[in-house]
A and B are shown apart, each in its own frame.
Chain A
Amino acid sequence: MSASDEFFIGWSADVPKRTGAFARRAWMGALVLGLSIAAYGAISQAPFAKSRFEFGVERTFEGRIEHIPYPTLVVDRPGASGDASSSRWLLTVFGKRGAEEFTQPLDGHRVSVTGSLIYSGAGTMVEILPDSLKDLGEAEAPSLPRPSQRVFGPQDSSVVDTDGSLRRGTFYGEIVDSKCFLGVMKPGNLKTHRACAIRCISGGVPPVLVVRGESALDPVTYLLMVDEEGRAVNDRVLEHVAQPIRIQGFLKSYGDMHVLHAHLGSITRIAPGDDPDI
């Protein structure tokens, strides 16, 4: 009698011998196939960004609150000079929320604040505990030039286009929320993250334009987005989030923070196959 001649009855405690053996072989085969798919699926994933969110690790920082217009903590770098004498870290709070409601009353003040670092090669952010904000008094006038005093021009090489050449005027990239992009989520960009980025930007997290190189592993240029008058643009860029776009504007530097003053009406979607240089 072959297994095909046997008759299996599910509610019976006894499984015909050959049918049982076939079921075991089928399970083993399915397991091997399944594990192969799992391995293949794991290996073939796109590379993940080298960024980090120190979730659960709380540190205390001191610095000056500055809004450009998004809240930043200007942290001194003792021993360094010029642009490197301080760093600007964007601030956020738990969830998909901006920190402005907590930091605005302290604009220009030195503060102490506890939070978790979020960082990548592109920049740093702190997810602060709002209750930990301590006002240390009004800070001295900033030693760095205010943002309106320095504008990138063709002679600057710190912001480059995807092909390595200087660019000022038209930028190509993807609008994402700074919090996820800097390390809270991986990937913190592209279509699968689009809804989350919209939620974050809608909730007050600063939007940034990511200008990326040819490869996903190439260094990225990270531009904080404001409008031409320097105002926050959160609710005006939602429809363009996580899509390849071109946009016109001009750059300003706030120490180590690069800010794109964007002409929002110039945003256009780059369709697949479009040559961004045309």
Chain B
Amino acid sequence: MGHSYRAVQWNRFKLRYDMALIAGVVLFIAAFMGISAGVHPEATAETLLIRGLGLAAIVLLHVILAIGPLARLDRRWLPLLYNRRHLGVTMAILAFIHGGFSILQFHAFGDTNPIVSLFTAGSGGDSISGFPFQPIGAAALAIIVLMAATSHDYWLANLTAPVWKALHMLVYLAYALVVLHVALGSLQVQSHWAPAALLGVGVLGLGTLHTMAALQGRGPDLAVPEPSGEWVDVGSVSDVPEGRALAAMVAGERVAIYKNEGKLSAISGVCQHQNGPLAEGRIVDGLVVCPWHGFQYRPDCGKSPEPFHETVPTFRLEVRGGRVLVQTMPLPLGTTTEPVPATLEDSAP
């Protein structure tokens, strides 16, 4: 959002968030290793560390993937969404140590380069259960580390939002690879049903959450109104609450119709930052605020306040007979529109 970048723009909430995150991860690994050492005194520390780190990483990956749909279903989860990248970087660090330690343990100090060994040793199984699981884990790790390395807004701005978003959608590929890595690796040597059951619950749970969020997303803001010439009737004036927005789909574009101090303006419903749902934001100090990461836009021109330079398209808007009409063609970026009084009187002759 800024015109210059800092690694993390700390505030009190972020500090608490990260302290809670680190405490949770440390407790998780300590609990796993402590209980393992108690129940299995013959276990070695290296094995427990590899397993504990891997388990912590996969649990955190589930949390990361669950936050998005949870925040769509209930906005009270938004504070966790806001700092999701901190979870992602933490998970990448855990996965990296798990992978690095595994390479050291299983492939180093031998007659072959450990990285070459990672992709060659263990291949040749003649069944699905014999399929090598470590290269699959390495592929997942590569994606996860790439995402963590580019999680900062610096990369979002320089890669452009579509490229950055596409890159970070690879998290679902990484998740599929992680599930395969576990199913073809650890689960193959477990005699207890619990690990497989836990993984199954995780996959099913995430699938259910994403399906529910997708179904909710097909609600009002995805209902395409009947076009009326170049203007689209998106609802009644009374449908737009003060300080909030009415979400609409206009000729395939998400549009947010905001009411600020009794006047209506239409801007794109997609935040330039990470495609956040601008129509679910609020007016704060006269500016539209995205609910995901707090990016701000002026409702009349779609520009972020100085010194920021993000801009979203605006749309012409009229009120006729108490109905709100939006022109289908977005205006050129930065075009200022005159806010329209939210009254029952027509705004245009």
Contact = CB atoms under 8 A, between A and B. Distances in A.
Contact of A42 (B36, B63, B111, B132): B36
Given A97-B109, A199-B110, A203-B110, A39 B31 contact: yes
B20 A27 contact: yes
Given A96-B110, A192-B185, A186 B28 contact: no
Tier of interface size on chain A: 35 or more
A27 B24 contact: yes
Interface string A25-37: 0110011001101
A247 B56 CA distance: 41
A90 to B, nearest CB: 18
A13 B122 CA distance: 52
B35 A185 contact: no
Interface in B1-38: 9, 11-14, 20, 24, 27-29, 31-36
Interface stretch (A43-51, A99-107, A140-148): A43-51
B82 to A, nearest CB: 4
Contacts of B192: 44-46
Interface residues of B, number: 76
Contact of B125 (A203, A216, A243): A243
Nearest to A52: B42
Contact of A31 (B27, B35, B77, B189): B27
Contact of B43 (A8, A48, A97): A48
16 contacts: A8-B79, A9-B289, A12-B13, A12-B294, A13-B11, A15-B13, A35-B28, A37-B59, A46-B192, A50-B42, A95-B109, A95-B110, A96-B110, A97-B109, A216-B191, A269-B126
Closest 9 CB pairs of A and B: A95-B109, A10-B82, A96-B110, A195-B122, A42-B35, A199-B110, A195-B121, A196-B106, A44-B194
Given A12-B13, A96-B110, A195-B117, 14 more contacts: A13-B13, A38-B31, A41-B198, A42-B34, A44-B194, A48-B44, A94-B109, A95-B109, A96-B111, A185-B105, A191-B185, A195-B121, A195-B134, A199-B117
